[in-house]
Amino acid sequence: MLKDHFLSLILFSILVSLFFATMNHRDGRGFWRSFGKTMAWMVLGSLAFAYLMLWTSR
Amino acid sequence: MPQTFPSWKAYACALAALVVPGLGHWTLGRRGRALAFFAIVTATFSLGLALHGALFPFHAPNWLYRLGAVAQAGLGLLYVLGRLLHWGHLEAKEVADVMFGYGNTFLVTAGLMNMLLMMDVYDIAVGRKA
């Protein structure tokens, strides 16, 4: 399970998103918004960049 | 008005994070945040080791590993303990592991997170941040 690349991406994104949301927000709503935004950028951005690298390498 | 500390005390609170991640926030009375940061940083550190990442020595032959060592040293006592107990030992079979790069990323990030925590504690202690 720990050899799964996508799982590593998800775990890393969760930890980093939690870290910055905890540091910058005290209210629950702001915390979860920040967490969600950071997660989305990290996961979707990484996937987009990965596909871009795949397409440009062909 | 947030409580502000004299400079020496602010530095002492900030450096407490080098002993245990989150301890700096604990000394400022932010207990919930302290526990959250402790959990996040140690989870990142533990996952880094589980993914066969290495704790780089300062005398590594590769300049990139030496830079990584500087980042990982931000963990303070965790880094020192890990090096002494040979956790994440840099050797050929670990480097060959497919998850080696990911493990290193987790370990370096944990160190950088702790450095950010120290800066956050200092900002709170001197009244720059509420």
Buried residues in B72-97 as b, exposed as e (16+ CB within 10 A): bbbbbebbeebbeeebbebeeebeee
pLDDT on residue A52: 96
> How many structural domains is chain B composed of?
1
pTM: 0.91
Residue where the block lists tokens 């050899």: A3
Q: Report residue B21 as tokens.
A: 């991640």
Distance CA A57, CA B3 (A): 56
**Residue B99 pLDDT:** 84
Calpha distance B88→B51 (Å, rounded)? 9
Range of B39's domain?
7-125
Q: Check A15 against B37: CB less than 8 A apart.
A: no
- The pair of structure tokens assigned to B32 is 């919930």
pLDDT in tens, B11-70: 999 999 989 999 999 999 999 999 999 999 999 999 999 999 999 999 988 899 999 999
The reply to whether residue B50 touches residue A2, judged by beta carbons under 8 angstroms, is: yes
Dump pLDDT digits (tens) for B63-110. Answer: 999 999 999 999 999 999 999 999 987 776 666 777 888 999 999 999
Q: Is the pLDDT of residue B2 over 90?
A: no
**Residue B1 included in any domain:** no
Confirm whether B130 is domain-assigned: no
pLDDT digits (tens, 9 = 90+) for A6-16: 999 999 999 99
Q: CB contact, 8 Å: A54 with chain B? A: no
CB contact under 8 A, B40 and A15: yes
Contacts of B118 in chain A (CB under 8 A): none
Residue type, position A32, single letter: W
Yes or no, beta carbons of A22 and B105 under 8 Å apart: no
The whole domain housing A11 covers 5-56
Average pLDDT over residues B117-121: 96
Give the C-alpha separation, A49 to A42, whole Å.
Answer: 10
Report the distance separating Cα A39 and Cα B52, nearest Å. Answer: 24
**Domain total in chain A:** 1
> Exposed, middle or buried by CB within 10 Å (0-12, 13-18, 19+), for B31?
exposed
Read off the pLDDT of each residue in A38-52 and give the average, rounded to a whole number. 96
